[in-house]
Structure 1
Amino acid sequence: MKRTILCVEDERHLRQDIIEELIAAGYEAVGAATGREALSVLDTTRPDLILCDICMPQLDGHGFLKTLRSKRPDLADVPLVFLTALDGRDAIIGGKRAGADDYLVKPVDYDLMLATIEARLREVNRIDQNIQELRQTLSAAQSSGSPAPDALHKVFELLSFGVVLLSSTQVVFANRVAREIHRMGDGLSVDTGIRCDAAQISTDMRDCWRAACEASTQGRDYLSSLAIPRLSGGRDYHLTFCALEGAFTSEGDAQCVAFITDPQCRPAVPAKVLADIFNLTPTEAEVAQRLALGLRSDEIASDLAIAPTTVAFHLSNIFDKTGTRRQAELIVLLLTGLTSIDP
């Protein structure tokens, strides 16, 4: 199936040239002369990528992007590339901070334009493939009513934050991010055990580890977090211990899980993944994604240009759909997309 590119450009001859280049490269191409016209096109056409000029009458590129991201959460996974004569450093930084996925300058280098489109669409394909693999693995893991450890390990390797499965005495499994954190040696070690260089925090860590395992064997809920200082002086790692509540309680198997998040490299959980796994609406998925990234309710409201009461309404629906009651439980669930935590 051909990919569809929407080209938003007010200069008619240039717009036509771009469309012809796209068609010659094997794409379907749709044109729009202004941001407003492009929004109308989106009512009937879902593009795979949008090329957008910045300086346009009626509704410019920045206005179009802001409207697109706030009013059309169903298109949140569609890349947008600014194509403009504004080639100054500040203009490029401003465009990327506004939410553009890439930035091309005029005069148009068609080879560079096509290479950029190909790169962005490959990125979309990788996300789609990861979603499909995640859904298939979850389906297989849940079909027997008790997820198999090997199936869960495959899912953990897809995640963008550290996951460490622990028995009462040792590390049972550490995903690729946890292994990388250990390799960096910046204050947190994950090998046969999980520990840090600060004596008191190591004691607190062992206490949390033990309490989580005890809660698991007793079928109780347990959730506790610690800040782990970096040797380099950067922002602390966040380490959260969570009981697995009987999921893996045979001898030698995991009894608790530790999640490692890095505020210097926040995990970006795709809204589409959250929507697919938890059956969320597009807006609920956008709210959930920002919650998983650590935003407060007022920050989510500002980011999505909606009222705080609307955020509260969506959060209530998310709690209902995920079977959680406390925000800490919800964040853990959103980050993994795997383990239901009953309060």
Structure 2
Amino acid sequence: MTATILCVEDETDLRADICEELVAVGYEVDEAGNGQEALELLRGKRYDLVLCDITMPKMSGLELLRQVRQEPGLGELPFVFLTALAGRRDIIAGKEAGVDDYLTKPIDFDLMLITIAARLDQVARIKGAATRDNAGHGPGLRAGLLGAGEALNRIAVGVFLIDGERKVLFRNRRAEELLDEADGITLSREDLLRGEKPQQTQALRDIVDIAIARAAAGDRQASGAVALTRSSGRRALFAVACPLGRGPAQPGEPAVGLFVTDPEWRPHATAEAVAQLYGLSPAETRLAQALVRGLRLDEIADEFGLSRNTVSYTLKNLFRKTETDRQADLMSLFIGNPMSLKDG
């Protein structure tokens, strides 16, 4: 079953980008330009999650959330704010109104997809669908992801969702590939992640434990990273642990997301799009296309109707995913690749 998401954002271009990212990974998406439009949609259709801006005309995100929490049948609907507001007063107001999570602008689309996947899974677990099978992919978890599993499978990073006992509850397709390679990271019979050497296993355990503690305390800050060397001699894997919860995790509930990147990974290039080759989102692909055409960042911002901050943030993601740190290196990488970027 595919999850249906309502995106509420008054900036037309940003809303279009968000919806495109969500549709690209398999979600069904409806959109609204303000809180009043959103409330009418919510009263007429069932949604699995709402992504909502705070500052909007006619009805703000806070006003919409307060209304939703009072509507019959909508009180438990997962609600995530999209906001450039990060002040303490704004966060307190959101929490008092019952918001489930925050994503700050400019939007990191990978983080957005991971947040949605974790939130949908948490909802399913609260409903009692926490049964796991021998492969560590229980039917309850699959039902809870509601299409989020496909979203995570599109990410060019190994994603492991881990509970408060350090056990892996879910891994995406890239994580499965890393485990199959058994080069730098493995999974024990007890569903615990291990490095190739005892000290790396301990380092991995340490950052996961810190993330579990931070999740229990409501702290969303990443707990650290560890390099996992590989017996093959290839460059080390890089693992980062991030708290997912806002309180102590219930049994069978994800508490931590562990994200593992491989600096040498490239998917098979046979007839695959460049976006898949480097794990790029649609927005990142469009930016790369514009750079290849020779546009400056301010020209790109004007052409796509985006803020300069959003363009700069997307460029940073391009640098990270392609392991470059200058526009010249990024351009050389794309221009020199046998699979040239094409519009469309």
- TM-score category (smaller protein): 0.3 to 0.5
Larger Rg: 1
Q: Which has the higher contact order (CA 8 A, sep 6+)?
A: 2
- The TM-score, its normalising length taken from structure 2, stands at 0.44
- The TM-score, its normalising length taken from structure 1, stands at 0.44
